[in-house]
Chains A and B, each alone.
Chain A
């Protein structure tokens, strides 16, 4: 069974702090996505990374795909209360359309 392990599971920080969330697997992914989900809603796509070593920036969020395409990280600079939510990574191995999701990182940013 393919697994995507996310760490940490929970994170509570003060506004202005930096944080990094990790997504790790023993499988190679053709692409990897990061989503954010708010209570009572469906996940919303933040970014897709495709190439090993790729780095993408979305305002204060920086996403990196590992060189071997087995892992990814999400770094948030100067977190704000609006960043609060459940962050999920997801991916599918090459040639399949069976996406698997990580168990998520629940982030709370305190004002």
Chain B
């Protein structure tokens, strides 16, 4: 099993550009989520999904869009990048439920200039 994979590993964008961060898991997990990690802020939940076709907002959803067309994939779209979105982005997955045993991808380091 590859676990949770994320691409790209690094990305530099100019303000106003859009892009999609990819996330895939091969563990047949129902729950998937996106977090951003900023210095001194811990991880903050952006969006999450409890199954294909079902998504919901987390703590910091503004400026991001998600969809879940398959169990395996959960892409995160930045609609119009802003410098405030410079961060490290992590995707995670777990079996459905609230035990929270999440498996994380290696992260995408995004810089917006």
Give the total of A residues in contact with B, Cβ under 8 Å: 29
Contact residues in A for B99 (Cβ distance below 8 Å): 30-31, 48, 50
Pick from B40, B42, B59: contact of A98, CB under 8 Å = B59
B residues at A contact (CB < 8 Å): 4, 31, 33, 35, 40-45, 48, 50, 56, 58-59, 90, 92, 98-107
A94–B98 alpha-carbon span in the complex (Å): 7
Tell me whether chain A's interface is mostly helix, strand or loop, or mixed: loop
Given A98-B48, A98-B59, decide whether A45 and B42 contact each other with a Cβ distance below 8 A: no
- In the complex, are the beta carbons of B104 and A42 less than 8 A apart? yes
A66 contacts B by Cβ under 8 Å: no
**Which 3 interchain pairs have the tightest Cβ spacing?**
A42-B104, A101-B43, A103-B42
